[in-house]
Amino acid sequence: MKITIGGFDGMHLAHMQLIKKSDAYIVIEKNSTLTPYFDRIFYESKMLELLELKNIKHLSKDEFIEKLKNYGIKKIVIGYDFKFGKKRSGNIKDLKKAFEVEVIEEIKHKNIPVHSHIIRTFIKNNEITKANELLGHTYKIKGSKIKGQGLGSKELLPTINIALLHNYALPQGVFFTKTNDNFSVTFIGKRSTDGNFSIETHILNGEWKMENGKLINIEFLQFIRNNRKFDDLKELKKQILKDKESALKRMKYYQH
């Protein structure tokens, strides 16, 4: 069996090169913020194991290799910078003593190296389009519906308030998104109304009335604007309607 192994945070373009060349993959979970835990399963049938870093970081490089042998591995496809074992003491030369090893060199997209830390920087800087290009898919977060202020449906626009399931890397601002496969506008940041941090999404073309606790998936398509403070609800609503109009124009492009 030919496998690949790594953190795979983001399941980005470079990770896909490794996975496509392998029969299966092993994930090392180390507080990932792009695709934590089972968010990574795009090729579910190919996922062999998810190992918590905290449970294996004590293993020496030789002990780690012995653990891999238990999976019946004959060949490993690995990224050029892969390290393993206690204090990252193991490297590709050590793997070659036990397995046949194929090394994939650094992958670039539009001359930008494809690495998780670069994608996280793009996301935090609201450069959603660039992040999505390096990921090879739209950036997604998951959460559950929670009770909001109640102002949306009464004074502004109805929104779904979300509590995240994991510690995701987050942009902050207003975004054109998809929420549970419905086009939407999503706000992330401190609300003008009470100064509290929130994640709220307004559905453009579907049902927004959902029970609390329902699983919510948000895909980030495009950045609309940065956050700003509004002095009153009238001014805030005026801007929200502009945001909605901007999103509706973008939605027409995606529907063609």
Domain at 197, CATH number:
2.40.30.30
Give the pTM: 0.92
Same domain, 165 and 204: yes
pLDDT at residue 153, rounded to an integer: 53
Task: Say how far apart CA 112 and CA 99 lie, in whole Å.
Answer: 31
Same domain, 83 and 147: no
Domain presence at residue 121? no
**CATH for 99:** 3.40.50.620
Closest by CA position to 33, among listed 112, 106, 121, 107: 121
| pLDDT tens-digit series, residues 140-190 | 999 999 987 665 555 678 899 999 999 999 999 999 999 999 999 999 999
| pLDDT tens-digit series, residues 196-212 | 899 999 999 877 677 88
Same domain, 103 and 145: no
Same domain, 158 and 234: yes
Domain presence at residue 78? yes
* Domain hosting residue 48, numbered range: 2-113
Same domain, 189 and 152: yes
Task: Say how far apart CA 122 and CA 252 lie, in whole Å.
Answer: 26
Same domain, 209 and 159: yes
Tally of structural domains, the chain? 2
Looking only at Cα atoms, what is the longest distance across the chain? 69
Domain presence at residue 120? no
pLDDT at residue 193, rounded to an integer: 77
Between 205 and 250, the more confident residue is: 250
- Choose the weakest-confidence range: 29-33, 70-74, 175-179, 190-194: 190-194
pLDDT at residue 192, rounded to an integer: 80
Domain presence at residue 127? no
